[in-house]
Structure 1
């Protein structure tokens, strides 16, 4: 599992920026999201309120075929009212679930593929202004095809792109999902550093 990075409070670094939680209340408790409203003391001593979403975390994986093609999924994303082109991903099922286990599960469910090798790419804070979600991103290689078996409420089409095609779709905005953009850019950097 990826090593977490934290603000080093003991050394006093950035102590003039830290907000102290005074109290917390639950605003909404859903299946996926838990909305909180916290009262905080600002560095200058004033009181402020922070509304934020507690999220269990997630994993994502960019699968690479033996031919070097990247596997993506197309699905309708209700909040933005459009079909997106993304890498397979999903939330951690339980607190403490190994993000790599989650990545394996999501790859299998959304695409039907299994992978022999996973490479950790990064841990991404998705929306630091209003959520504590971190998503762990992996590359997957040594793929074996199987049967796609998405969740009951998931409707997904699988497609493949070359790295050049994926980069062009990032530039055009067709791939606009942050985790997918990040994954493709980091994978390309990794491949370049390996001379592939």
Structure 2
């Protein structure tokens, strides 16, 4: 690709704690400069928590943007400054599924909607699971207040993803990546510390 897509200006239109909306004036092939709007996102982590019976912990959670309850992975924002990504994933697993894991691997890194956002989610595989210690209570609020955790056989979760029952992109990619990694006897997994 010979074009450099030089950014001539960068204007922030809106900012909140999770994302900002910006307009870049970008030079296209041939020299024309055009405006491109997109969302700058702080990033996220997701967890495929797989138990010893080959079941994955899936969450049912309401999402206002689509006005539906979706099947999802335990997941959340990278919103603690300096927190290693695998620690953010462990925090989300504890907060949303009341679980801790002794083994962590990097499963996938995904730009969720690159046509309109720079959001990147890092998906981790968590194994050797145990219940979160009783003293580590986390109070769920808002949409998380009534989220439900369901244990689903990984093969059934794959079927749900392929049939369109699971539509959350991170969940679809996570269960498919976990099934593929399992078929390769986990040889395709990367160290959790490799997440960027």
TM-score, length basis structure 2: 0.87
Structure 1 unaligned spans of 5+: 1-13
Q: Deviations over 1:44-88 (max 9, x none)?
A: 110100101010111100001111111011000110110001111
- Aligned mates of 1:88, 1:192 — CA distance in 2: 23
1:149 counterpart residue number: 138
Q: Could you tell me how far 1:96 is from its partner in structure 2?
A: 4.8
Say whether residues 1:15 and 2:2 are aligned partners. yes
- Aligned residue pairs, count: 181
Higher alpha-carbon deviation: 123-132 or 170-179: 170-179
Say whether residues 1:159 and 2:146 are aligned partners. no
C-alpha RMSD of matched pairs (Å): 1.6
1:125 counterpart residue number: 111
SS across alignment from 1:137: strand
Matches within 5 A, 1:46-195: 46-94=32-80, 96-146=82-132, 149=138, 151-153=140-142, 154-155=144-145, 156-194=147-185
- Aligned mates of 2:68, 2:139 — CA distance in 1: 19
Structure 2 unaligned spans of 5+: 187-196
Higher alpha-carbon deviation: 162-171 or 99-108: 162-171
SS across alignment from 2:65: helix
Contact 1:64 1:141 in 2 (8 A): yes
